[in-house]
Each structure stands twice: as structure tokens, then as C-alpha cells.
Amino acid sequence: MEFEYPEKPKETHKIIVKKLLHGEFISIGKREYEVLWSYKEWYKSFFLDSFNIELLNSEEVFYCTNPTGGMNFTKEVLTVLAILMYEISKEDADPIIEIQNKEFSLDRINHYLSNSVQFSGYISNNKIETRFVNRLEQMGLAKKTNNDKFVFTRAINIFLKEYDDLTEQVIGMEE
Amino acid sequence: MPRIFSWNKKDTMMNSYGASIPNFVSTYFRFMSDVVRIVNKDGDNYITHEQLQLLADRDSVSITTLLKYKIARESDGVYEIHKRVANFIAFSNNEFALSSPESVKKFHFSLSALYDKLLRSTEANDIIIHSDHLISELRDFSDILDSSITRLLRDTLALKENTEKHTPQERFDIASGIIKEYVEPLNEIIEDRPDTILPLIRDISSLAMQKSFSYDKNIENKLRRLRFQAKYVHENTEQFGRKIISELFTLRKIKKTNSILSGAIAWLENKTTLTPKGLCNKMPIRVHSKAFFFEAIEELELLLEEDIDIDTPTLEEVSKSTKIEHYFHLDKTMYLTALEKALPVENIFKWIYNEMKKHNHLSYENYCITLSLLDRIDVSYSKVDRDILVFETCDLNIPVAKSTTILRGDNDGI
């Protein structure tokens, strides 16, 4: 494949590669997303040919996965989000719509975690710390708003889809 | 004027018990309602002997009378309830069964057969008979759609509001079941495609119109009724189609939501056996393809020192240790000092290559490591010119990259 960078600001390119190789998510609304979307096929080849890494994307998010990594943070996010959704669904609200659209705070999440009867102890001390939220933000999964609050970015849908895939895994195991 | 003789098989099937049946149904309405509810539940279409006996004992109903009036029929140890009675009671109670797609599809065949008969009819009697049959069959078809959609709307709403307190897994299963068994096949049957029932109903209407020109007033009236019936049922079917699409969306959403929730709970319960994808993990960095090697250089500029864990011991460590005497230590200061003197260079890749050769450091692997110097050098790539570097193990096709400046660092004297 002949090497030809697409016309684009060099800095954005570096940010894109660095973020994706760090396992971060690039969601719609970001400058990097626009560049990725415009040169999608080029970037897919670039990642595959340069690093043997598959660049994945939905309509809203670009990301890469690495199944050989430690996965501690992935597991922690999956667990916190699962308890959160379970507890929200008990309040007769649609947990997915809440996760996708509502503002959250550390206190609100910890309220759900510490009051969960079914899933008490699934997260150490039944609470998360500020660094967890910071990490969410760093990975492109959350965006801080005002007053220590944050919203989940579109990238959270990749995690929601992950549950969908886990359901398939369970069905596969039962069969 | 010919005498019109209308023979309708349904008209002649008189039940000899006449008013006894409505009287019986009316007297034991609670009993009949409970029986019909069981029969209509889950589309089994029967009630077991035990269930029937229990209800009969409760309300002092004689099963023998039930059988005598042909309201119920015993078949292989279970009881079936006469469809018309069951429909009447369900209708009275506003309870409807979800008809199987197969039973809806049957109407396509019966209407099609009746249409052919009407098409070929030339005698007044035949036209009247077949029109009557078509009117009645269209009515039955419309009723079955009404009943199905009423039941479907209710089931979906119950599922949406989770009145039965199902778990997410159960709701996922129920929604999947309704979509697969009822909604999608039904939608396929009533969609407006050349081979479905809707164009057939339009054909029936057109046929009724064409035929009505050549016959007397009586027949014309009958055919007009058929036309109106066809028009009404056509509209009803289209409306059913719209409703069923809307239910399909709702059910798919319920299915999706509960699949996600059910996966979330499955994750909490079976963390050890489930394998999520490695989201949020750092990627394993290695240069994969030589052809694309230099295309990755810009990334190596960023990543070599930061992300690839290259073990570069200090000079003292190298001199102290005999074990790692073959280890290539990249003495950045030495290279950068030499480069500063050489600047500007026409091709930094070639310059590094030559410099390594001079120090007897040259190998493909060492060269890759030495390229980490690039994060300290300002480089401008030519997109056109290329060069070839020859290593013992491979040849590399490289771009020409001019260098004029060393970027200032804070950990060496350059």
C-alpha cells in the first residue's frame, strides 16, 4: 500500500493514533471523530497494516479492543454500570435512556451502589472514587459538566452493546 | 326474472338446542369466561379435564350438558371449546386470542379460491353464493385481525409496563417469542406485496365492480356490498399493518433493553465465566508490516519511548553487566551530537543508517530502536522520493525525510 497521508492537520492525526492505541474512545462531536469519519477506510488500513490492530466503529464512536490486556478497568466499568442499570430499572425508569441522557454525580452513583441489596459487595466498599470518574473521562466514556457532575458520552453505547453480546454468550453457553 | 336460490351451508347447520345454548352461557357466564380464558391462553386451544372439572365443580356445571350442547368437545383427554362460542365469550369480555400466522394465512387461500369461483361464475345464483361467501370470509378475516391486534397491543403493553414482574431475561424471551412467532410472520402476510392478501382484496373489489355492470339490480346490490366489504377490510388490513409495525418497533426496543439488562445481570452473576472484549485496554504496539513500517514512524515518534517498553540500560549498567554485553544500548547523546554537526541532512533515515554502520551497531532491530531519535528531530517527509536501505535480514523502502533542526530536550546537553 502506497503511503499517502490524507490531507489533515498533523496534530489531529497524532492525537487520534495515540488515543486509539491507548484504548480510548473517540465519539461524535470531537474533531478527531470528524477526521476519522472522513478518512475511515484509510485509517482502517493504516491501523491494520501498521499495527495489526482492527479499528472498530459504530455510527457514533471509533475504538480499538485488546483482549490480551488486563481488563481491570473494563470489568470495573461493566460492574458499576450493571448495578446502576439494575437499580434504576427498579425505580420503573428506563435504565438505558437514563444512562444515555441523564447527568450523574459520584454521589448519585454511590447512592445506588451502597443501597444495592442484590449486588452489595460487587464493588469494593460499595463505592467508587473520583479517580474512577476521571478515568472514565480520560477514556472518552464520560464528559464532565458542572458542579462535579458528568454525562456519559456516546461511547457508553459500546459498553451497553457489550452486555448484549454477553447475553448472547450466556445463551451460547446454555445451548 | 330468475328465482335466486341461495344455498349457504352455514345457514343450514342449525343447532337443535336453539335458545338453550345462550341460556346456558348466560347462566354460567363466569364458568364459561374462565374456561375460554384458559383455552385462549398461550394459544393451546384446549382445557384439560382436571381444569374443567375444577371449574365445573366450583360453579355446579354439568360437563355432560356442555358436551350435549356441543359447546365443548372431548379430544384425547382434553376439551376444546366451539370456536364461535369461545369467540363470543371472549368478545363479550373484551378478551382476544392472538391468532397464529398460519390461521391468518388460511384466509389468503380461501379468499383466493372464492375469488376464482366468482370470476368464473356467470349464473346469477352462483354470483350471489360466491359473493356471500366472500363477504363472510372477508368479515372473518377482518375479525381475526381485530382480535389479534387487540390482544397483541395488550400483551405488548403488559410487557412494556412489566405488570407480571418478569425478570429482564424473561421479558427478553417473551419479546423475542412474540416477534418471531407472531409479529414478523403476520407482518409478512399482510404486507402489500404482489403475492400477499392485500392485492387479492383489491382484485375482489375490482371484480365485484366489473361484474355488477352486466346483471340485474339484485345482483348489483350484492356485488356493491361485496365491494364495500372489500374496501372496508382493505383499509382495516392496512391499518392492522401499520399497528403491527409500530408494535414491532416497541417489541424490538423491549427486547433490546432487556437483552442489555439481562446481559448486565448475567455479567454480575457470572463474571468468572464470561469474557468481555478488551475495551479500554492499551493496544499491544509492534510494527506489523515492513511495507507499512515507515508509515508507522510518526506513531513511533510518539510511542517508542512512551508506550513500548524498551529496556535501555544506562552506560554504567552496561559496563557492569557482562550478561547483556550484546545488548544494544542506544546512546542518544552521541547520535544527537553527531547529528547536530551534520545538519542539515537530506535524509535522516539514511543518515541514521550510515551513522550506525560507522559505529558497527547496524542491524534491523537496532535500527528500529534508534529511530526513537526521531522524537527529537524535526522531520519533513517527501511524499515522492524514496530510498532503499539494505539490512542483513531485509531491505527497507523508506521515504526521504529532510532534517534541519534538533528539537530541544531537557535531559541531555543538546
CA distance A87 to A116: 7
B384 and B248 together in one domain: no
A89 and A161 together in one domain: yes
CA distance A26 to A34: 10
Return the pLDDT at B16: 65
Cβ contacts of B278 on chain A, cutoff 8 Å: 23, 65-69, 71, 74
Q: Report the pLDDT averaged over residues B8-15.
A: 47
Determine, for residues A86 and B280 on separate chains, whether the beta-carbon distance falls below 8 Å.
no
Q: How far is B386 from chain A (nearest CA, A)?
A: 11
A126 and A153 together in one domain: yes
Q: Which of A51, A77, A152 is most worth mutating to test chain B (most B CB atoms within 10 A of its CB)? A: A51
What pLDDT band is residue B155 in, cutting at 50, 70 and 90?
Answer: confident
**Better pLDDT: B127 or B16:** B127
Residue B5 in any domain: the answer is: no
**Better pLDDT: B294 or B194:** B194
CA distance A66 to B279: 7
- pLDDT tens for each residue of B187-210: 999 888 988 999 999 999 999 998
Q: How many Cβ atoms sit within 10 Å of the Cβ of residue B57?
A: 10
A130 and A158 together in one domain: yes
**Better pLDDT: A147 or B314:** A147
Return the pLDDT at B120: 93
Cβ contacts of B173 on chain A, cutoff 8 Å: none
Instruction: Indicate the residue among B72, B95, B118 that finishes a domain.
Output: B95
B252 and B153 together in one domain: yes
pLDDT cut 90: percent of chain B above it? 23
What pLDDT band is residue A57 in, cutting at 50, 70 and 90?
Answer: very high
Which residue spans within B247-406 are E strands per DSSP?
Answer: 377-390, 395-406
A35 and A77 together in one domain: no
Q: Which of A24, A120, A137, A170 is most worth mutating to test chain B (most B CB atoms within 10 A of its CB)? A: A170
Which range has highest mean pLDDT (A136-150, B6-20, B362-376)?
A136-150
B208 and B329 together in one domain: no
Residue B279 in any domain: the answer is: no
Residue A169 in any domain: the answer is: yes
B82 and B109 together in one domain: no
Q: Which of B268, B270, B298 is closest, CB to CB, to A119? A: B268
B214 and B105 together in one domain: yes
A18 and A80 together in one domain: no
B240 and B373 together in one domain: no
Return the pLDDT at B382: 67
Do residues B55 and B63 make contact, with C-beta atoms less than 8 angstroms apart?
Answer: no
Residue A119 in any domain: the answer is: yes
Q: How far is A138 from chain B (nearest CA, A)?
A: 10
Return the pLDDT at A10: 62
Looking at residue A161, which CATH number applies to its domain? 1.10.10
B126 and B257 together in one domain: yes
B117 and B34 together in one domain: no
In total, the C-beta contacts within 8 angstroms joining chain A to chain B are: 175
Q: How far is B388 from chain A (nearest CA, A)?
A: 15
Return the pLDDT at B222: 92
Do residues B201 and B233 make contact, with C-beta atoms less than 8 angstroms apart?
Answer: yes
- pLDDT tens for each residue of B333-355: 889 899 999 988 988 889 999 99
Return the pLDDT at B316: 53
Residue A76 in any domain: the answer is: yes
A80 and A134 together in one domain: yes
B154 and B299 together in one domain: no
Cβ contacts of B371 on chain A, cutoff 8 Å: none
Residue A4 in any domain: the answer is: no
Residue A126 in any domain: the answer is: yes
B85 and B102 together in one domain: no
- The interface pTM score, or ipTM, of the predicted complex is 0.88
Pairs from B61-68 (Cβ < 8 Å, separation ≥ 24): B61/B28, B61/B31, B65/B24, B66/B24, B68/B17
Instruction: Indicate the residue among B236, B269, B302 that finishes a domain.
Output: B269
A84 and A14 together in one domain: no
Which range has highest mean pLDDT (A103-112, B78-87, B268-277)?
A103-112
Question: If you count them, how many residues does chain A have?
Answer: 175
Cβ contacts of B294 on chain A, cutoff 8 Å: 3
- CB-neighbour burial class of residue B96 (10 A; exposed 0-12, middle 13-18, buried 19+): buried
Determine, for residues B302 and A96 on separate chains, whether the beta-carbon distance falls below 8 Å.
no
A101 and A146 together in one domain: yes
Determine, for residues A167 and B172 on separate chains, whether the beta-carbon distance falls below 8 Å.
yes
What pLDDT band is residue A143 in, cutting at 50, 70 and 90?
Answer: very high
With a CB cutoff of 8 Å and minimum separation 6, the contacts of B194 are none
A118 and A44 together in one domain: no
B327: pLDDT strictly greater than 90: no
A38 and A100 together in one domain: no
Lowest mean pLDDT among A16-30, B272-286, B383-397: B383-397
Split into its structural domains, chain B has a count of 3
| B95 three-class SS | coil
A84 and A58 together in one domain: no
- Which of A140, A6, A135, A138 is CA-nearest to residue A60? A140
- Tell how strand A149-152 and strand A142-144 pair up: antiparallel
Residue B396 in any domain: the answer is: yes
Q: Report the pLDDT averaged over residues B157-177.
A: 87
Q: What is the mean pLDDT of chain B?
A: 80
Q: Which of B260, B289, B302 is closest, CB to CB, to A96? A: B260
B244: pLDDT strictly greater than 50: yes
**Which residue of chain A is at minimal alpha-carbon distance from B287?**
A51
Residue B105 in any domain: the answer is: yes
Cβ contacts of B295 on chain A, cutoff 8 Å: 3, 46, 49-50
Residue B280 in any domain: the answer is: no
Q: Report the pLDDT averaged over residues B150-178.
A: 87
- pLDDT tens for each residue of B304-317: 344 433 333 444 54
Lowest mean pLDDT among B42-46, B49-53, B55-59: B42-46
Q: How far is B365 from chain A (nearest CA, A)?
A: 17
CA distance B382 to B147: 74
pTM of the complete model: 0.61
**Which residue of chain B is at minimal alpha-carbon distance from A172?**
B274
Cβ contacts of B286 on chain A, cutoff 8 Å: 51-52
pLDDT cut 70: percent of chain A above it? 94
Residue A3 in any domain: the answer is: no
Q: Which of B159, B170, B259, B260 is most worth mutating to test chain A (most A CB atoms within 10 A of its CB)? A: B260
Looking at residue B154, which CATH number applies to its domain? 1.20.58
Q: Which of B253, B269, B279 is most worth mutating to test chain A (most A CB atoms within 10 A of its CB)? A: B279
Return the pLDDT at B292: 46
Split into its structural domains, chain A has a count of 2
**Which residue of chain B is at minimal alpha-carbon distance from A169?**
B274
B354 and B377 together in one domain: yes
Looking at residue B65, which CATH number applies to its domain? 1.10.10
B87 and B121 together in one domain: no
**Which residue of chain A is at minimal alpha-carbon distance from B256?**
A164
Return the pLDDT at A94: 86
CA distance B398 to A3: 10
Domain that holds residue B323: 294-406
Instruction: Indicate the residue among B45, B65, B95 that finishes a domain.
Output: B95
- pLDDT tens for each residue of B385-404: 777 888 776 677 777 778 88
Instruction: Indicate the residue among A37, A63, A89 that finishes a domain.
Output: A63
Which range has highest mean pLDDT (B24-28, B79-83, B211-215, B233-237)?
B233-237
Residue B282 in any domain: the answer is: no
- pLDDT tens for each residue of A65-102: 988 777 788 899 999 999 999 999 888 788 999 999 99
Residue B355 in any domain: the answer is: yes
Lowest mean pLDDT among A13-22, B35-44, B292-301: B292-301
Residue A141 in any domain: the answer is: yes
Residue A2 in any domain: the answer is: no
Domain that holds residue A163: 72-174
Cβ contacts of A86 on chain B, cutoff 8 Å: 261, 264-265, 268
- pLDDT tens for each residue of B88-108: 888 777 777 777 888 888 999
Q: Does B9 touch chain A (CB under 8 A)?
A: no
- Which residues of chain B from 163 to 192 reach within 8 Å of chain A, CB to CB? 168, 172
A78 and A131 together in one domain: yes
